[in-house]
Amino acid sequence: MTRQFKPPKPMTPDRLERAAYHYLERYATSTSGFHRVMERKIRRTNENFSPLTSEQQGWIDALTEKCLRLQLLDDRLYADQKARTLSLQGKPMRTIKQWLSARGVDPDTIDQALQALADDHGDSQTADMKAALRFARRRRFGPWRRDDGDKKKRDKEIAAFMRAGFGWQQTMAVLEAESVETALALAEEVDRPHIVADWPDN
């Protein structure tokens, strides 16, 4: 017996609002990202996935304003949290800036978040060096390498650092460190136990 396709129920402002709250309970997002998600939700219920009408666009605009008033959307908080999370994952500031920009966060808010991140570590150079150390440990590059490695492996490590957005000076400083102790000393006032705890050996 063939199962008949049931078309989705038409979207309404109330249904969209419930969907929005459910989404925001589960995910952090930027205002721009929220807007795109709401657009997709409406289009899935439109016939033939047709574009939004001006009325439907108005639903999203009104809902976005309401979520901003209720502080369910806060681009500055979102940018601050994501910047710190990405830095702990071993991402440099250049990459974090691109990541936030791709999610529709405005340049001024990004600059404020990156400045806050730099202040957390003393300055932007130290923040990036700590991120480079985390990246190297996570990938087991440089002094965290399991073996001595050859030129081919070293070239691959350099390429990985470059693709991740790190500068040449930071890359070579980490990869040329003779030991983990030497590498950790590259960042002034580095929180060594925190870096070591991020990626367990097993």
Q: Could you tell me if 87 and 165 lie in one domain?
A: yes
Residue 170: inside a domain, yes or no? yes
Residue 1: inside a domain, yes or no? no
The label of the residue with tokens 């994952």 reads: 89
Cβ atoms 59, 16 nearer than 8 A: yes
The percentage of residues in the chain with a pLDDT greater than 70, rounded to a whole number, is 90
Name the token pair of 202.
């097993």
Q: Could you tell me if 108 and 152 lie in one domain?
A: yes
Measured in whole angstroms, the distance separating CA 38 from the mean position of its chain's CA atoms is 21
Q: Could you tell me if 109 and 26 lie in one domain?
A: no
pLDDT of amino acid 197: 39
Which of 137, 127, 122 is closest to 84 using CA atoms?
127
Residue 62: inside a domain, yes or no? yes
Q: Could you tell me if 114 and 183 lie in one domain?
A: yes
Single out the residue in 34, 50, 69 at which a domain terminates.
Answer: 69
Residue 33: inside a domain, yes or no? yes
Range with lowest mean pLDDT among 19-28, 90-99, 119-128, 179-188? 179-188
Q: Could you tell me if 125 and 182 lie in one domain?
A: yes
Q: Could you tell me if 115 and 186 lie in one domain?
A: yes
Q: How far is CA 195 from CA 11, 111, 199, in A?
A: 47, 25, 8
Please write the tens of the pLDDT for every residue from 87-124.
999 999 999 999 999 999 999 999 999 999 999 999 99
Task: State which residues form the domain around 158.
Answer: 75-202
pLDDT of amino acid 6: 72
Q: Could you tell me if 85 and 21 lie in one domain?
A: no
pLDDT of amino acid 2: 59
Beta carbons within 8 Å of 171's beta carbon, 6+ residues apart: 132, 158, 161, 162
Q: Is the pLDDT confidence value at 36 over 90?
A: yes
Q: Could you tell me if 85 and 129 lie in one domain?
A: yes
Q: How far apart are CA 55 and CA 61, in angstroms?
A: 10
Helix (H, G, I), strand (E, B) or coil at 111: helix
Residue 35: inside a domain, yes or no? yes
Greatest mean pLDDT among 40-49, 68-77, 193-202 lies in 68-77
Q: Is the pLDDT confidence value at 192 over 70?
A: no
Q: Which residue has the higher pLDDT, 200 or 149?
A: 149
Which of 33, 40, 37, 39 is closest to 57 using CA atoms?
39
Name the token pair of 104.
């529709």
- Total structural domains within the chain: 2
What is the pLDDT confidence band of residue 196, given thresholds at 50, 70 and 90? very low
The pTM of this model reads: 0.83
The percentage of residues in the chain with a pLDDT greater than 90, rounded to a whole number, is 80
Q: Could you tell me if 34 and 116 lie in one domain?
A: no
Residue 200: inside a domain, yes or no? yes
Residue 133 sits at φ, ψ, to 5 deg, of -65, -40
Q: Could you tell me if 49 and 140 lie in one domain?
A: no
Beta carbons within 8 Å of 96's beta carbon, 6+ residues apart: 82, 83, 86, 87, 114, 117
Q: Could you tell me if 61 and 82 lie in one domain?
A: no
pLDDT of amino acid 190: 45
Residue 151: inside a domain, yes or no? yes
Residue 4: inside a domain, yes or no? no
Q: Is the pLDDT confidence value at 15 over 90?
A: yes
Q: Could you tell me if 47 and 87 lie in one domain?
A: no
